[in-house]
Amino acid sequence: MSDTITLERIERYLALTAEARSKATPSTTSKLDEDRLNEMLRMCDDYAADARHFAAEGDLVSSFGAINYAHAWLDAAVRIGLMDGHGDDRLFTLP
């Protein structure tokens, strides 16, 4: 495994996060949980946008960090039960 951050690696992680974002579905049971999930998804989307911005600027280290944060928001939402990861342990750390 390479320890070098490349644009190709960032693009791969952006695609992985986009796949996870489209696969997970809400499993909220209250308005409060729905609001919390919406905030988590907004954070995911904001960090993904930051990752794309940093990559376009040539700041691959910040881009790599941002896309990992984006995916972590999705992973956390699945882990705490606000989203259903549909048993996909490649995209999510399942409960």
- pLDDT of 69-78, one tens digit each? 999 999 999 9
Q: Does residue 2 register a pLDDT over 90?
A: no
- pLDDT of 60-71, one tens digit each? 999 999 999 999
High-pLDDT (> 70) share of the chain, %: 99
Residue 95's nearest CA partner among 79, 82, 84 is: 79
Q: What is the mean pLDDT of residues 38-51?
A: 98
Domains recognised in the chain with CATH numbers = 29-95 (1.20.1270)
> What average pLDDT does the chain have?
96
CA-CA distance, 82 to 76, in Å (whole number)? Answer: 9
Q: What is the DSSP code (8-state) at residue 8?
A: H
Q: What is the DSSP code (8-state) at residue 82?
A: S
Q: In this structure, are strands 25-26 and 83-84 parallel, antiparallel, or unpaired?
A: antiparallel
Q: What is the mean pLDDT of residues 30-41?
A: 98
**Predicted TM-score (pTM) of this structure:** 0.93
pLDDT of residue 1: 62
